Structure 1
Amino acid sequence: METLGITLFRVVAGMGVLLVIMLTIGRRQLGELSSFDFLTSITIGAVAGALIVDHRIELASSLIALLALGGMQLFFGWLSIKIRPVNHKINFKPLVMVENGQIIKESLRKIHMPVETLLQLLREKDVFDITIVEFAILEPHGKLSVLKRAEHLPITPSQVNFNVTPNSILVPVILEGKLQEKALADMGFSSQQIEEFRCQHLNSIHNVFIAFMDQNKRLHVIHDDAREHNVFLH
């Protein structure tokens, strides 16, 4: 029982430090990490795992190591922003993979990528005919950016002088039967208007799963009793 208590304490302490590190570093996806960030993250995970399962490892030393690794990651992140050459050294540069429909073999060799993988990445961008590609660039985070030739790009309303209505942003003002007063206030409602809105919809709010409001103060309601109609054939 004592061992279980020690393990739980080490789990809470380790995860607490990891949470502090994550909140300090900021919100980034795995694919957006630099090579240094990726290696540091792996090391942090290994140290945290060892801290939890191996009671022979001193708790204080492990926590200090985690904080030091997090500090290094934060420092090099700051350094790469302030000093551009550092950023170029610890991060990969964008690499042109396709230019004017031609695959750059030297680029494939640099990153040891088979041509089949490049073709797969192009298909994921809805490119099945490589001749329509003007540029395909492999970004530092590993994703492929594709620019098609001008004649193969979709036509936009501005190109044909066609007027379109502005985009409508829907804000949830009722969630599971509860009025979101802050959302209404952010949309410009006064306290009196919020209370009037509540009184106006008092009998129906509890039956609403979610209700959105657009910039023109129009409601789009999804009721609790919405059901699937099974229109798909199997």
Structure 2
Amino acid sequence: MPDWLIVVGRGLAMLIVLFIMTKVLGKKQISQLSFFEYVIGITAGSIGAEVITGLDRNFFHGIIGIASFIAIPIIIDKLSMKNKKLRDFFEGKGTVVIQNGNIIEESMKKESYTTDELMELLRKKEVFDISDVEFAILEPTGDLNVLLKREKRPLTPKDIGLSIAEEKEPCTVIMDGSVMVKTLASIGKDESWLTAQLAKKKKKIEDVFLAQINSFGQLHLDLYDDPDTNNLSDQRKVIQAVLEKSKAELDLLSMYAADDENRLKYQKNSDKLATVLSDLSSLSKPI
């Protein structure tokens, strides 16, 4: 058998072996490698490459070598679950680098981080002023987790005493132009209901690429491209998007209005925008 064919065969076999070994390790080792697991991964890959191209070496000895290396992090994981000191040693632990808006220089030196590197990580978290940070910790994976000071955090409904309904995952009821019958049944709807909803929007099932129902029961459609859509001007698209966003915000304000008078005002203006959007959709020419 030609050498190149042996290398191809060994390569495919080693790929299968490494894939199986990685599956055994689990998702944790794929998403968040510790220093120890990083070294194990490099070593296993090096053994695999050497076995594939080293035709004078026994293939099964290579598999045994990789398996022995892969077994080490599995054993360490089992032991670490019962011993925090062992877990901290192999996986590392977080280091506080900012506290009360002040950089902890000793922690920076310990982790060999420069101020520029720290500022880069903060900018990735959309933080540009260190004084805004209450607490920042550098995780063993290299991620920086930041807790802003209370006055710098975004306002939430809870902060202003609002109680909002639980938001559920949107249900996809049409995908690639096909109706998801089981999904419809899971929310107490059927295909006739969906057809009726589409008819209100002057659409048919075959016109829809994707359709979802959100937690408020609203139906969102993504249509297949057609000549009318392709000929819309950028200006018209922007205006329509702004109007739709404004209507959605008015609907939300109406839902959580403090009294009936404000609720009616929000709903009235939302209805006006719905009329405008309807007229805009019926236009055949760009604005």
Q: Aligned equivalents of 1:94 and 1:211: distance in 2?
A: 43
For 2:146, the equivalent position in structure 1 comes to 146
Structure with higher RCO (Cα < 8 A, 6+ apart)? 1
For 2:18, the equivalent position in structure 1 comes to 18
| SS across alignment from 2:166 | coil
Q: CA deviation at 1:162?
A: 2.3
Q: Aligned equivalents of 1:184 and 1:72: distance in 2?
A: 48
For 2:234, the equivalent position in structure 1 comes to 231
- Rate the CA distance shift 1:230–1:64 in 2: closer, same or farther, 3 A: farther
Between the two proteins, what is the percent identity of the paired residues?
30
Please give the TM-score of this superposition, normalised by the length of structure 2: 0.69
| SS across alignment from 2:234 | coil
CA deviation map 1:18-54 (0-9, x unaligned): 1111211112375611111111111111112222233
Q: CA deviation at 1:198?
A: 9.0
Which has the larger Rg? 2
**Amino acid across the alignment from 1:152:** K
Q: Aligned equivalents of 2:131 and 2:190: distance in 1?
A: 58
Q: Aligned equivalents of 1:114 and 1:37: distance in 2?
A: 25
| SS across alignment from 2:28 | coil
CA deviation map 1:126-148 (0-9, x unaligned): 22111121111111111111111
Contact kept, 8 Å, 1:176 with 1:206, in 2: the verdict is no
Moved more, 41-50 or 206-215: 206-215
* Structure with the higher helix share, 1 or 2: 2
For 1:56, the equivalent position in structure 2 comes to 56
The RMSD of aligned alpha carbons is 2.8
For 2:107, the equivalent position in structure 1 comes to 107
CA deviation map 1:39-91 (0-9, x unaligned): 11111111122222332221111111122222222221222223222101112
Equivalent pairs, count: 227
Q: Aligned equivalents of 2:28 and 2:2: distance in 1?
A: 38
Q: Aligned equivalents of 1:219 and 1:109: distance in 2?
A: 54
Please give the TM-score of this superposition, normalised by the length of structure 1: 0.83
For 1:208, the equivalent position in structure 2 comes to 208
Q: CA deviation at 1:168?
A: 3.9
**Amino acid across the alignment from 1:25:** L
- Structure 2 portions without partners, runs of 5+: 236-287
Q: Aligned equivalents of 2:120 and 2:138: distance in 1?
A: 13
**Amino acid across the alignment from 1:118:** L
